[in-house]
Structure 1
Amino acid sequence: MPNARTGGLPSPASYTNQGNGTVRDNVTCLLWQRTPAPQRHTFTDARAYCARLKLVGDGWRLPSRIEVMSLVDTTRSGPAIDTTAFPGTPARFFWTSSPWAVTKAPPRAWIVNFYEGLTSNAAEQSGSYQVRCVRGGSGSGSPAYRTGGGRVTDPTTGLTWQRATAPGTMSPAAADAYCAALTVGGRAWRLPTVKELATLVDDSRVSPAIDRAAFPDTPGTGAYWSASAFAPETSQRWFLSYNDGITSHRQLAGAYVRYVS
């Protein structure tokens, strides 16, 4: 998962403008449409638009929730994206190919707001939102987590997670201090970014939307703090709820913590 270039985090974002209307993400190796579709589309039309796109060849598709979120730069807003790599990106909601796991009429799907990076599963598929297509391996399928010693390693991201949730909820300042004081297994632990937290979301589940075998104590409701500040108002902190996987930045008295290395 590409992180911000500042702050010394792993996998800093890196893009290459291919000069042919596409941008290569040097972290994920995905190839992106540099300029989004000129018009907004419904969910069905968005998928069809990408499938018929002929931009340096075919093979284009509507990106998944986590793929769209990989482009979010939480250190920016209006739009929350690298504007050198992706100029002219509107600060609006973009479709993902990920339907919401809950069967509900009318059907809904995930969208990502490039004003600040918020994700939502409340988009009715008949609604019209922005579209940016992607090309590359979908990365779909069950994660190959490795568990042991109270830790879970995700070989896809290279991240190692605390398997258990830290006891109780805490404030953002307390969460920072808790992670900074940890000395477990000789590793340097930290509070994850909101994008790193999102890599653990299982789109096919709710309450909790996470692999229950790998992370058995994750509560069905409740939010987890991230280390990511909300760019429009840095006194606020991003969090992710594994009830369904949404991200938000509203004020909370306390949230859960799962540290990462």
Structure 2
Amino acid sequence: MNKIGMFAVLAGCVAAMPMVHADCASGVPLVNPDSDYVDNGDGTVTHEPTGLMWQRCPFGLSWDSQTKTCAGEGEQGGATYKNWSEALNDTAELNFAGHDDWRLPNVNELRSLLEWSCENFAINATFFPITHQETSYWSSTTMMSDPTMARMLSFSNGSESPSRKSEYFAVRAVRGGN
């Protein structure tokens, strides 16, 4: 392929990718820079400081290695939303990238992905390209004061809050850990 053809293909890929804008503090080092992650080449990424392996795409989307993004037809912004029980069960039953020990992350594991020096997209967009900023993600952490509620986390601003387990939020599976 000639240089013009290659440029056209690359420009088309970039144009098709969702635009993500993170407001990061100027001159402040990132908490989770690209160097903290290893792309496993199979739709997963390993966060080296924690040893956690993550699905790059939320449930309802699948990794497209050609375009380096998540693809598929889901509900809200592409992701398939689930209630807490569905999220817990579906991650436990997941067989993905040669592993069958996936689970719903606890709230501390989800927090480990937060990019605290940024807002409007407080997660590493290089390795988690489809993490819609208006979407909250379930954790496996049940509220001690009310077992009908669990913690969820928003990657818009890093906020964490309890929600009824009957509500529907996005899901991302995790495995392993140090």
What TM bracket, shorter-length normalisation? 0.5 to 0.7
Q: What's the counterpart of residue 157 of structure 1?
A: 50
| Displacement of 1:144 | 1.5
| Displacement of 1:181 | 1.3
Structure 1 residues 106-145: aligned runs within 5 Å? 140=31, 142=33, 143-145=35-37
TM-score under structure 1 length normalisation: 0.45
Q: 1:239 to 1:156 in 2, by over 3 A?
A: same
The structure showing larger relative contact order (alpha-carbon pairs under 8 Å, at least 6 residues apart) is 2
| Displacement of 1:206 | 2.1
Q: What's the counterpart of residue 197 of structure 1?
A: 110
| Displacement of 1:253 | 2.1
Task: Select the structure that is richer in helix.
Answer: 2
Structure 1 residues 237-256: aligned runs within 5 Å? 237-251=150-164, 253-256=167-170
| Displacement of 1:141 | 6.1
| Displacement of 1:140 | 4.8
Q: What's the counterpart of residue 257 of structure 1?
A: 171
Q: What's the counterpart of residue 146 of structure 1?
A: 38
Specify the code of the residue in structure 2 equivalent to 1:209: A
Secondary structure, in 3 states, of the residue corresponding to 1:249?
strand
Bigger radius of gyration: 1
Specify the code of the residue in structure 2 equivalent to 1:176: L
Retained in 2: the 8 A contact 1:206–1:220? Answer: no
Structure 1 residues 181-192: aligned runs within 5 Å? 181-184=93-96, 185-192=98-105
Aligned residue among 134, 148, 171 for 1:235: 148
Q: What's the counterpart of residue 219 of structure 1?
A: 132
Structure 1 residues 46-125: aligned runs within 5 Å? none
> Taking every aligned residue pair, what percent have the same amino acid on both sides?
31
Retained in 2: the 8 A contact 1:207–1:219? Answer: no
TM-score under structure 2 length normalisation: 0.66
Q: Distance in 1 between matches of 2:31 and 2:58?
A: 26
Q: Distance in 2 between matches of 1:141 and 1:183?
A: 27
